[in-house]
Chains A and B, each alone.
Chain A
Amino acid sequence: AQKITQTQPGMFVQEKEAVTLDCTYDTSDPSYGLFWYKQPSSGEMIFLIYQGSYDQQNATEGRYSLNFQKARKSANLVISASQLGDSAMYFCAMSLYGNNRLAFGKGNQVVVIP
């Protein structure tokens, strides 16, 4: 079974600075996908970025980038130039090829301060 670990305590980030959110995962399956979602206080889950286990390059989507270190089984999210609207919970998740069940970590709370 997949396991996702997010252990950082809540973080305060200065506006316009970058923030890195840690995520480690555990699976014996070589074929998987890693996802990051944002959950603002309204509760909806917003997809941010995806990294496949066979992708050679780190994924990027606008201000979001994923630092994928396969050997270390880590998939850290980097948010550059933080904005006040980035204040939210951030969840790392994983699913396996052939099975789209997402396994989630417990999340990281980020508060961006002006």
Chain B
Amino acid sequence: DADVTQTPRNRITKTGKRIMLECSQTKGHDRMYWYRQDPGLGLRLIYYSFDVKDINKGEISDGYSVSRQAQAKFSLSLESAIPNQTALYFCATSDSGQGGVHIQYFGAGTRLSVL
């Protein structure tokens, strides 16, 4: 079983709809992240959380919200989806880091299309 699980894997929705992408992990990590990937732009950070009570905006948080329901669960919501939110979304986790090393482990991704 995957250590970082994202659901759904694919989603097609319409403009204006509210949708939620979910992420759960069995790695026991404190830190969780949401990224979006667009062709030619690499990965851009949407939100990150270092524990249940520590949630922070990333580079491109407008139009998104998150919920850290438990150490192992971190959900991303699009309150009112728009077509330019069509992208591949990744959840990632990392531990607090031995010696400042924070390798991130990624889920399989959710491909979202907003029509």
| A interacts with B | no
